[in-house]
């Protein structure tokens, strides 16, 4: 038995029917790599069962303290039933990308059963009309409560529930040891709560003194211009309206080599390139709806706090900072340069501000006090009165660089899904693995009724940025090639051949590349659908 940490408890306290606090992901799998070239549902369940014992969180059930006067506990469920958590469904015909997105959005909108271990998985068949999906391919959508795992930890959990070999039976397995906790009685929980409340009060006092001290240091740093002042005047958009219970899902994909090429040429970070692409997508989308503000929009960026305060026994170690997207700038390269400047300022602010941990406030007080406040806040739509407009959360997760398998089927794509919070109805999650970057879009259905159009806007933004980078490269090379010029040659884009660069007139997610394309496409073939003729085919999310 283990008591939840402060931040883990915060996500439990923030749970609401309109904004459930779970994260998720959808992988697409190629069964041709499995023994016999096919995968059965029973085989997927057996594979899950075989691997679940390696991590206790999959059997962890929430136990509340009587009266909610203290943080809850995790106990190992003695009645764990894997078949309750893993379900088998199929898309109706024709089985296209739009149907898959609608299904995943509906599954992600449903809150988890808080009386059972807080995760679910769905094996989805019938993906027959999604170009690029291997023949017989299937998807696995999983969701897990944020109290169990954060973004940085989620990548390691993915490794736990997957195999590194296509034939797991050929890999020797240690004997599984399953343990279960004895349910604590009310007397024990109540007495522990009394002791914990005394300890927590002392921690709050000392922690409050520390926060005041850090705020003082931050104020001095800002006065001396050593710490940049974060923007607190970001305009509100349609994504700042109250979040409802329904969701939409879409996704785009880009060659990671192109993202890195833009990064190298413009001397920025990968995350800056991603933010600039999203900025352009939001700009196009809001211009179309005649809603683009004159001022720059801002987004929230989660921070992995493990490097800041060291490893702890909490499942969540995450903070956040705000970054301006400069959506009021039309030129993509100028916008990228400004995004880089803003992200560097946000990094400095995050390293010096105690406010990056503000989410912990939702877990400091006993649930008996916090839960009614959360319900009042959400039910009365008080988010409309907040002065700060954060248009989206953008999370970037680096996936494994090696192939993963489920019941022998190789994962060829993965799309991550975040969570929506009151007043922020849009979430972008970037996942990179084996040469492919996917950008997943989760939105409130009322705020974004046209997610496929927004995906087109994001892809248009990427193509514009890539075209501008290529033009800048060509200009630099032209100047460097002049005989009298002695300037240092411009750094080349790191695509392995000119044919590897997508046609900027066509979204990359809709374009198939042949085996003669580039070494970049070849390196990504371990994570792409491969036809019998050897051609690498990107999974297409084009609309019918």
Catalytic residues: 146
Q: 437-456 in b/e burial notation, b at 16+ Cβ within 10 A?
A: bbbbbbbbbebbeebeebbb
Rounded-to-integer distance, Cα 422 and Cα 380, Å? 11
Rounded-to-integer distance, Cα 66 and Cα 409, Å? 45
- Of 422, 427, 404, which Cα lies nearest the Cα of 414? 404
Say if residues 237 and 294 touch (Cβ distance below 8 Å): no
Strand 298-304 and strand 390-398: pairing?
Answer: parallel
What the block records as the tokens of 210 is 């520390």
Task: Note the helical H segments in 414-485.
Answer: 451-480
Rounded-to-integer distance, Cα 445 and Cα 108, Å? 12
CB atoms within 10 A of CB 172: 5
Distances (CA, A) of 135 to 38, 40, 131, 158: 10, 15, 10, 24
The separation between the first and the last C-alpha atoms of the chain, rounded to the nearest angstrom, is 51
CB atoms within 10 A of CB 304: 13
CA angle 11-14-17, nearest 5°?
Answer: 120
- Of 251, 12, 246, which Cα lies nearest the Cα of 107? 246
Rounded-to-integer distance, Cα 98 and Cα 105, Å? 11
Say if residues 482 and 467 touch (Cβ distance below 8 Å): no
Say if residues 66 and 190 touch (Cβ distance below 8 Å): yes
Q: Which residues pair with 243 in a beta bridge?
A: none
Instruction: Find the farthest-apart pair of alpha carbons in the chain and give their distance in angstroms, rounded.
Output: 87
- Of 535, 431, 527, which Cα lies nearest the Cα of 28? 527
User: Residue written as tokens 């402060």?
Assistant: 6
DSSP state of 490: P
């Amino acid at each position: 038995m283990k008591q939840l940490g402060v931040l883990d408890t915060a996500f439990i306290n923030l749970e609401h029917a309109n904004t459930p606090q779970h994260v998720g992901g959808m992988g697409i799998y190629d069964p041709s790599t499995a023994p016999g070239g096919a995968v059965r549902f029973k085989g997927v369940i057996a594979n899950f069962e075989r691997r679940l014992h390696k991590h206790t969180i999959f059997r962890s059930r929430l136990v509340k303290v009587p009266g909610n006067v203290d943080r809850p506990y995790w106990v190992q469920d003695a009645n764990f039933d894997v078949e309750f958590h893993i379900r088998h469904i199929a898309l109706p015909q024709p089985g296209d990308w739009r149907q898959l997105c609608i299904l995943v959005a509906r599954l992600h909108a449903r809150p988890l059963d808080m009386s059972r271990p807080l995760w679910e998985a769905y094996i989805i068949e019938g993906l027959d009309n999604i170009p690029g999906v291997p023949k017989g391919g299937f998807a696995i959508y999983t969701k897990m409560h944020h109290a169990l795992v954060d973004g940085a930890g989620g990548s390691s959990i993915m490794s736990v529930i997957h195999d590194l070999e296509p034939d797991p039976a050929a890999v020797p397995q240690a004997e599984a040891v399953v343990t279960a906790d004895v349910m604590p009685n009310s007397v024990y929980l109540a007495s522990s709560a009394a002791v914990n409340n005394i300890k927590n009060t002392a921690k709050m006092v000392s922690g409050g003194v520390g926060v005041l001290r850090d705020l003082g240091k931050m104020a001095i740093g800002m006065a001396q211009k050593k710490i940049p002042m974060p923007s607190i005047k970001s305009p509100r958009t349609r994504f700042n309206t109250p979040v409802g219970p329904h969701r939409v899902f879409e996704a785009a994909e880009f060659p990671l080599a192109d993202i890195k090429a833009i990064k190298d040429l413009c001397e920025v970070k990968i995350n800056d390139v991603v933010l600039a692409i999203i900025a352009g997508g939001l700009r196009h989308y809001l211009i179309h709806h005649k809603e683009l503000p004159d001022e720059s929009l801002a987004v929230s960026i989660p921070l992995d706090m493990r490097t800041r305060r060291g490893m702890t026994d909490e499942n969540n170690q995450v903070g956040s900072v705000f970054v301006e997207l400069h959506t009021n700038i039309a030129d993509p390269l100028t916008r990228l340069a400004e995004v880089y400047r803003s992200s560097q300022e946000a990094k400095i602010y995050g390293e010096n501000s105690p406010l990056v941990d503000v989410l912990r406030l939702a877990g400091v007080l006993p649930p008996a006090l916090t839960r009614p406040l959360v319900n009042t806040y959400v039910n009365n739509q008080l988010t409309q009165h907040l002065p700060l407009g954060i248009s989206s959360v953008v999370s970037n997760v680096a996936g494994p660089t090696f192939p993963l398998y489920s019941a022998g089927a190789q994962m060829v794509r993965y799309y991550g899904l975040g969570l929506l919070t009151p007043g922020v109805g849009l979430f972008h999650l970037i996942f990179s693995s084996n040469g492919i970057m996917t950008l997943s879009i989760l939105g409130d259905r009322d705020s974004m009724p046209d997610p496929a159009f927004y995906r087109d806007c994001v892809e248009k933004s990427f193509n514009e940025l890539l075209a501008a980078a290529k033009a800048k490269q060509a200009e630099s090379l032209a100047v460097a090639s002049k005989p009298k010029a002695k300037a240092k040659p411009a750094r080349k884009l790191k695509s392995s051949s000119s044919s590897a660069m997508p046609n900027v007139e066509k979204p990359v997610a809709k374009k198939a590349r042949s085996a003669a394309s580039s070494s970049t496409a070849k390196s990504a073939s371990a994570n792409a659908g491969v036809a019998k003729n050897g051609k690498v085919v990107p999974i297409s999310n084009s609309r019918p």
